[in-house]
Structure 1
Amino acid sequence: VPGKRHLDEDDASVSWRKRKKHFFILSNSGKPIYSRYGDEHKLAGFSATLQAIISFVENGGDRVKLVRAGKHQVIFLVKGPIYLVCISCTEEPYESLRGQLELVYGQMIVILTKSVNRCFEKNSKFDMTPLLGGTDGVFSSLIHSFSWNPATFLHAYTCLPLAYATRQAAGAILQDVADSGVLFAILMCKHKVISLVGAQKASLHPDDMLLLSNFVMSSESFRTSESFSPICLPRYNPMAFLYAYVHYLDVDTYLMLLTTSSDAFFHLKDCRIRIEMVLLKSNVLSEVQRSMLDGGMHVEDLPADPSPRSGTSSPHLGQPRFSTDSPEGFREAFVGIGGPAGLWHFIYRSIYLDQYVSSEFSSPINSSRQQKRLYRAYQKLYASMHDKSIGPHKTQFRRDENYVLLCWVTQDFELYAAFDPLAHKALAIKTCNRVCQWVKDVENEIFLLGASPFSW
């Protein structure tokens, strides 16, 4: 994702006004700090208008959260002296867009820490843009991820599928390093976790992992050489910097070692050399490359309906609420282009582990536009399932011209599944039970087990 796009645009440009989703950061004095599209300095008048709306409502003893104007929603988020605004006509739920503003604010805190507020206390007209110089690509990458990365609304992370022994080998050497004074040791491949280890009682929120990995992947400087950089983890401690040693082991795989010490570079460099040696000797890096080529779970590979296992007491969707007895004419005969019973895609989130697994996209959801549409459908489903004013709900079944969507929430997991719009309800329910059993059967390979200390 490139950095700032369409720099020539401003609020007078027709093209700027036609953009479907804008993000703005401004100060409480109306100074523009960041804009997704156009040059911030050319948008000074527009930023002042947004600031005036917020101030006007606050002066009346209230707080503005949402303004609807035709097809557009204007969402406001006030964080002390920092104002964040999203203007969208994408029909995403308010909760989702507000959550995205929280993440944009979190990304700013990763770079600056919350102590930047003190600068505004000393000088209300403080200009923050120089402090964020060169980070346009970081924000652009994060905003782009709102269209494809389920972690942005699930608040969970995903792991690269690996054999249990391979992940254990990576975890063992990271644990050795954590015992030598490293706060967090994280090994990742793109946005997927290979292994992570934390010092005793140190807890890492999935949102912090999302923002940290986005910061590393969207900053070119981390790719070209080993780096030692101050970073902040908003959920861990928003007021203080940690120090991150970052090194790419190959084009997609990188190691992050986090410490509280500003002079630990050489110690962390030695740790990295030890880690890299062990990863090469135990073939972890070659296994990572193989996993990248093979991909994850494919709906076409969903195992046949397993016979009842003795001693298993896992819940079944549709019992007793729905009957899963399929009519004779539909018995396993309905196989769509994807998996059994027209299954096209699924996301399974383990509540205990704060991890999720998402099946690979396959036909007919093989274009980026179709994938984005399904992502937005999941987003709406998630928001409605967790709507506190009318819920929470346990199951939901939706059918429209694009999909059958089925969601199932228990105390242990959440399952979101998309089927062919002509899929039979009873078979879809039966297939969801099979997906849950499949995930349970391969959990050693798709999840980082024993990671409960990282729950928040």
Structure 2
Amino acid sequence: MHSSDNRGSWEFHPEDTLTEDTGNFPSTLAQVNFSGQKKAGSAVDVPGLAYRNEDIMSESWRKHRKHVFVLSEAGKPIYSRYGNEEALSSAMGVMMALVSFVQAGGNMIQSIFSDEHTVVFLQKGPLVFVSVSATRQSEQQLRSELLHVYHQIVSMLTQASINRIFERRKNFDLRRLLFGSEKVLDGLLDVMDSDPSFFLSAVQCLPLPSSSRDALSHILQKAITPDLVFSFLISNNRLVSVVQEKTVLEDARLKPSDLHLLFNLIRVSAFQAGEIWTPICLPLFNPDCYFYAYVAYLDPPECTVCLVLLSTDKEAFYAVAECKRKIEEAFASQNALQWVANTQLYYVNDIGVANLKHFLYKPSKVLDHYRQMPQFTWSLASLKCSPALLRSSLRNQLSVNSLNCCDGSKRKRTVSLFVNSQDTPLPCTPAGAPQTDRIHQTLDFSLSCNFE
């Protein structure tokens, strides 16, 4: 039965697509177009892939600062960030034994602390998630990461399908359905180490004049068909525009986390030319149903501008492809892609504040009648400035600006400083933070700065 109320479709059941000869699920992330022809291109470099077959007895495996494991209630391994899941089956069995032992006493295990490590557990239905960390991250932050991993799995299978599978067979090997999709989870964990958007529950927008953004949105709006629910225009992992079909229920608001998961799927997919038509679930919008995503780059061979169209009808490929053609024609007639290509990302020194090296800013209040998603902006480049001027400069620019970042180690430090501040009374500076680091938070905004 096909059901569509603009919340998704119940029609696609991944457990029904197991192939008889191999028992494997033909992954929705396979790099094929609608006709099944393979597409050229290369995926983003995902560091986790290099560790897929790492020896779990090696010193290098033990030295990783954060491990993430996923297993079923029956103790069956599903995923490991480092090393092969099969080789870790005994270790995962011990993890499940700890969970079961505490459950037998009428409790639920949350975390274990030692001098050097924090072990955090998260149980979602029939799945158990474990993080073993030697970082400075708090229990709350690690659990948030595990929740994102769970949502990424749901985005590929749906919550209803996962529950239905394990109701039928408690010892089911979920790797059969996730076959070929490990890189999606690897990519998610890697990007969460350095991208604050996950912890902030906010998105970065590409800086554009409001007139240009409105024109792009108008083109997307005109191309909407009855079963097309969302249209996204993305450039280099930044949101350019999103259009939501008017009949989408008011209480079914799109959440930033769903957008992050969608961005991650696109980021790690190995295609440049052509198009992808694939089922995808938006867990916070509706965890039990699929949308059908049409994904295509509009500017090959650069492949920086990506169009994503979400439909509730799995048979709507040709209708959605026609929408994409109309959008391309409208963009070409107005030379609209050049607006995106000519966008200049601003640096901290463009603001003109003394001695400021980098900052991160997020408004706490979002005007609901504009149906805006929470946004943030940040930079790690050198600059000269004062927080008061920074606040006034950013308030009027946030919706149309985002910032460049520098090296990964500084990026991770800023993320760590900011998310640590969420666990303490505000305004504040985290305990142990260098004197040059300052975090200020009010009812209206949060600001994290680092001065020379």
- Output the TM-score relative to the length of structure 2: 0.78
Cα distance in 2, alignment partners of residues 84 and 377 from structure 1: 25
- The AA in structure 1 aligned to 2:166 is F
Number of the residue aligned with 1:413: 445
Residues 86-235 of structure 1: pairs in structure 2 closer than 5 A: 86-114=131-159, 115-178=161-224, 180-200=226-246, 201=249, 202-221=252-271, 223-235=272-284
Residues 13-412 of structure 1: pairs in structure 2 closer than 5 A: 13-114=58-159, 115-178=161-224, 180-200=226-246, 201=249, 202-221=252-271, 223-250=272-299, 251-291=303-343, 294-296=344-346, 298-302=347-351, 339-342=353-356, 344-352=358-366, 353-363=372-382, 366-384=406-424, 391=425, 393=426, 395-397=427-429, 400-401=433-434, 403-410=436-443, 412=444
After superposition, give the CA deviation of every residue in 1:331-387 in whole Å (9 maximum; x if it has no partner). xxxxxxxx3254532323353143323233213984321222222112212333xxx
Structure 1 unaligned residues grouped into runs of 5+: 304-338, 385-390, 421-456
* TM-aligned CA distance change 1:349 to 1:199, over 3 Å: same
Q: Is the 8 A contact 2:233 2:241 kept in 1?
A: yes
Number of the residue aligned with 2:33: none
- The AA in structure 2 aligned to 1:203 is R
The DSSP-based 3-state class of the residue aligned with 2:107 is coil
State the 1:243 CA deviation: 0.6
Cα distance in 1, alignment partners of residues 102 and 437 from structure 2: 42
After superposition, give the CA deviation of every residue in 1:267-320 in whole Å (9 maximum; x if it has no partner). 1001001111212222221121222xx213x222225xxxxxxxxxxxxxxxxx
The DSSP-based 3-state class of the residue aligned with 1:138 is helix
State the 1:162 CA deviation: 0.6
Alignment of 1:12 with 2:57, yes or no, is: yes
Q: Which has the higher contact order (CA 8 A, sep 6+)?
A: 2
Cα distance in 1, alignment partners of residues 363 and 50 from structure 2: 34
State the 1:179 CA deviation: 5.5
Larger radius of gyration: 1
State the 1:414 CA deviation: 2.7
Q: Is the 8 A contact 2:359 2:447 kept in 1?
A: no
Percentage identity across paired residues of the two chains: 33
Number of the residue aligned with 1:306: none
* TM-aligned CA distance change 1:340 to 1:348, over 3 Å: farther
Cα distance in 1, alignment partners of residues 149 and 74 from structure 2: 20
Q: Is the 8 A contact 2:202 2:376 kept in 1?
A: no
Cα distance in 2, alignment partners of residues 359 and 13 from structure 1: 38
**What is the count of residue pairs matched by the alignment?**
372
Q: Is the 8 A contact 1:381 1:407 kept in 2?
A: no
The DSSP-based 3-state class of the residue aligned with 1:396 is coil
State the 1:240 CA deviation: 1.0
Q: Is the 8 A contact 1:178 1:198 kept in 2?
A: no
**Alignment root-mean-square deviation, CA:** 1.9
Structure 2 unaligned residues grouped into runs of 5+: 1-44, 367-371, 384-404
Q: Is the 8 A contact 2:293 2:311 kept in 1?
A: yes
Cα distance in 1, alignment partners of residues 380 and 328 from structure 2: 32
After superposition, give the CA deviation of every residue in 1:49-79 in whole Å (9 maximum; x if it has no partner). 1111111111110001110122100000001
State the 1:397 CA deviation: 4.1
* TM-aligned CA distance change 1:126 to 1:400, over 3 Å: closer
Q: Is the 8 A contact 2:277 2:294 kept in 1?
A: yes
Cα distance in 2, alignment partners of residues 181 and 404 from structure 1: 49
State the 1:166 CA deviation: 1.0
Q: Is the 8 A contact 2:213 2:241 kept in 1?
A: yes
State the 1:225 CA deviation: 2.2
- The AA in structure 2 aligned to 1:232 is C
